[in-house]
Chain A
Amino acid sequence: MTRSANVARLATLALGFVFLYAPIVILAAMSFNASRLVSVWGGFSTKWYAALLDNDLLIESAKISFSAALLSGAIATFLGLLAAVALARFGGFRSRMLFFGAVHAPLVLPEVVLGLALLSCFVALGVGRGFMTLVIGHVTLTMCFTTVALLAALRGCDPTLEEAAMDLGATPAQAFVLVALPQILPALASAFLLAFTLSLDDLVIASFATGPGATTLPMRIYSQVRLGVSPQINAISTLLLGAVALALGVSALVMQAGRRRGL
């Protein structure tokens, strides 16, 4: 490679990563700014973080968001696993196309449309909106992502191993749990993490699906963000970014450990 091409390549990479990371870095830096103003540095301070601890509404929303993300992540991973098994292992069953299409459709549907449909449905059924409808909304939103992730993992492992186990006398359920499941464990973990982060991050579905008793963290942040930039929101954003970075690091380690064991 010529020298000038090399310089151009490094410059492009540098510009690209500055574009991707500068807003995040600036946001984190501002959360430690003693001044309320964006463009003035008033010295280092953790007072906005201290203020968070006194913000009961924000803490309550964070709890709701985390429990909804844990529960909907678990359900979405379970449903996604069943759907992926059906698509990867059952061959051509009747209505396979409908099932395949319906599982993947939420991937390309604007969230506003899905949210509107869910809310109309809850109202028509006379279901009171709250934590459970929030979880239902998030499972419906995220299970298409978990299905896609797990389908890829299942296609990557050899079905003859399960068949061999069944020839040796295992029931289909035993063969799946003892042979296939351990092979896709890392994918299962990352599918759960994906559903968890998507639920934690979601504003649109939550706004439609939840009631006054269960306001999520993004909804709370959103209602404050519309009023302008606030140092407290910078602080909670930085905490959330840190939590996601941690989760990403853990999942990378899990994947790597899985690969090392030859999975």
Chain B
Amino acid sequence: MKRGRLSLYQRLTLAIPYLWIAAFFLAPMALIAKISLSHSALARPPYEPRFHLSDTAAEFWAKAQTLTLENYRALVSDSLYFDAYVTSLWIAAVSTFATLLVAYPFALAMTRSPRAWRPFLIGLAAAPFWTSFLIRVYAWIALLKDEGLINTALMALGVIDAPLVIFATKSAVIIGIVYSYLPFMLLPIYAALEGQDPSLREAAADLGATPAQVFLRVTLPLSRDGVIAGALLVFIPAVGEFVIPDLLGGSDTLMIGRTLWNDFFANHDWPAASAAAVALVAILLVPLLLWERARLSEEEGRR
């Protein structure tokens, strides 16, 4: 690819989306990083800005020396925040694993179906992703509640005597995440399995491997990239999830997205919420960067 100066026409094409991103994404992100370093105050906006555009260099330097990381320290020392981070990571990890357990056999069954069925099956599995997320989560309330459909059906069948308490627990949040994010796990695994050469499995079987051995030593290792991609696509949004814990979780299910929301809207502690947001982005970037590095080093290795 040639690297060089762009024509006027190209510059204009690039400038329009660039300006939008700079104004409404990069600048706001920089602003919350800045707010996270300031004190909270009872005012509008509810924080005390540290810098002003009119500051001279000397004033800027004097203020920069008084910057504190108090809001970040509070994230670690305040048990509310710390617990919310731990709960979020734990729920996201368990949900990701549960989604994998549901998605893998589902994707495998699709790739083993007749070729003509596959586009239809994959379309049918991806379609719910297009419908309202809020409504799909809401639908589970009617199923999971103590007097909901699952409990009513199980009691009518005589399986249980007293209703199972699922609604307003961590289990309900996990069920909600598995349900809502299933397509994100399903599609990459399907793509990885679909691309496998069936003659590899046949060769393994010819050499005496049992079906279980073929799966564990051929199919599963070859689908690793799909599993990792799917796990990241589920894990990352699940950590910051707001709607699912709020609708299906109980008051004890404090995930970080909800804590942020409360601090921002109810407590008006913008500096604390901003620090929590910056920390959340940092936490989510780590798995992404690790994955990217692993991918790059693997590409190097192949060369």
Contacts and interface: CB of A to CB of B under 8 A. Distances in A.
Interface of A: 1, 5, 8-10, 12-13, 16-17, 19-21, 23-24, 26-27, 30, 37-39, 79-80, 82-83, 85-86, 90-93, 99, 102-103, 105-106, 108-114, 116-121, 123-124, 136-137, 139-140, 143, 147, 171-173, 197, 200-201, 203-204, 218, 221-222, 225-226, 228-229, 233, 237, 240-241, 244-245, 247-248, 252
B112 interface: yes
Interface in B98-112: 102, 105-106, 108-110, 112
B203 interface: no
B247 interface: yes
A239 B274 CA distance: 38
A99 B20 CA distance: 11
A4 to B, nearest CB: 10
A9 B113 contact: yes
Contacts of A113: 32, 240, 260, 277, 280-281
A222 to B, nearest CB: 6
A12 B17 contact: no
Given A92-B2, A121-B24, A229-B142, A13 B132 contact: no
Contacts of A91: 1-4
Nearest to B270: A120
B124 A17 contact: yes
Contact of B261 (A112, A172, A244): A112
B25 interface: yes
A116 B264 contact: yes
A181 to B, nearest CB: 13
5 contacts: A27-B139, A82-B13, A111-B242, A121-B31, A244-B132
B138 interface: yes
A225 B138 contact: yes
Given A91-B4, A244-B130, A117 B29 contact: yes
A47 B6 CA distance: 62
A241 B243 contact: no
Contact of B152 (A19, A39, A120): A39
A16 B242 CA distance: 25
A96 to B, nearest CB: 9
A16 B106 contact: yes
A85 B32 contact: no
B127 to A, nearest CB: 6
Contacts of A116: 32, 260, 264, 273-274, 277
B2 A110 contact: no
Contact of A110 (B21, B132, B134, B257): B257
B273 A90 contact: no
Given A112-B260, A118-B24, A13 B113 contact: yes
B136 to A, nearest CB: 7
A19 B102 contact: yes
Given A16-B125, A82-B14, A201-B134, A140 B25 contact: yes
A222 B244 CA distance: 12
B88 to A, nearest CB: 10
B9 A39 contact: no
Contacts of B106: 12-13, 16
B20 A79 contact: yes
Interface in B1-46: 1-4, 6-7, 9-10, 13-14, 16-18, 20-22, 24-29, 31-32, 35, 44-45
A229 B248 CA distance: 12
A67 B131 CA distance: 18
Given A16-B125, A39-B147, A121-B27, A108 B284 contact: yes
Contact of B25 (A20, A105, A147, A248): A105
Given A38-B147, A117-B32, A79 B17 contact: yes
A39 B21 contact: no
Given A79-B20, A110-B284, A30 B134 contact: no
Contacts of B288: 108
B147 A237 contact: no
Contacts of A21: 128
B85 interface: no
Contact of B143 (A26, A99, A106, A172): A26
